[in-house]
Amino acid sequence: MSDLERRLRFALAPVEPPLALTDRFERTLTELTDAAAEELADWELRAMRDPRNWVRPAAALLVGGVAGGTLIVVQARQRQRRRRPRGLRGLERRVRDTAGSAMKAVRR
């Protein structure tokens, strides 16, 4: 290394950045990230005002509605099955119902 190179290394010694710079950078980065998130949310709301962007959500709603309706039907049938008595008790109830209907018919 020549004498000039040694002097250059000395003259151009690395400079320590101020401690506050890191805080400042983190703050700016957080602000930018938050602003980007807000911008994205606004954009989504704006996009939803355009009917051309409704197709997908409407389809999703339809599929969701059908699925929800199907679920309700399935649950109702399950409840109905649960309410219907089985075995001897069921037989007894069905006999009583039949007898009741016969009595009503006789009285008429």
Partner 1 sequence: MEARTSKPLLDEQFSDLYRSHLRDVYSYAYYRVGNHHDAEDITEQTFLQAYRHFERARRESDGRPLRPWLIRIAHNLAANHYRDRSRRPQTNLEDATRLSAVHATEDVVEGREELAAILDGVAALPGDRRDALIMRFALDMDNREIARALGRSEGATKVLIHRAIRQLESSLKAGDGHE
Sequential DSSP letters for 44-87:
HHHHHHSGGGSHHHHHHHHHHHHHHHHHHHHHHHHHHHHHS--H
Nearer to partner 1, 29 or 103 (CB): 29
CB of 53 to partner 1, least distance (A): 26
* Chain centre distance of CA 14: 51
CB of 9 to partner 1, least distance (A): 5
Nearer to partner 1, 21 or 91 (CB): 21
Binding site for partner 1 (CB under 8 A): 2, 4-5, 7-18, 21-22, 24-25, 28-29, 32
CB of 28 to partner 1, least distance (A): 6
Which DSSP category does 16 fall into? P
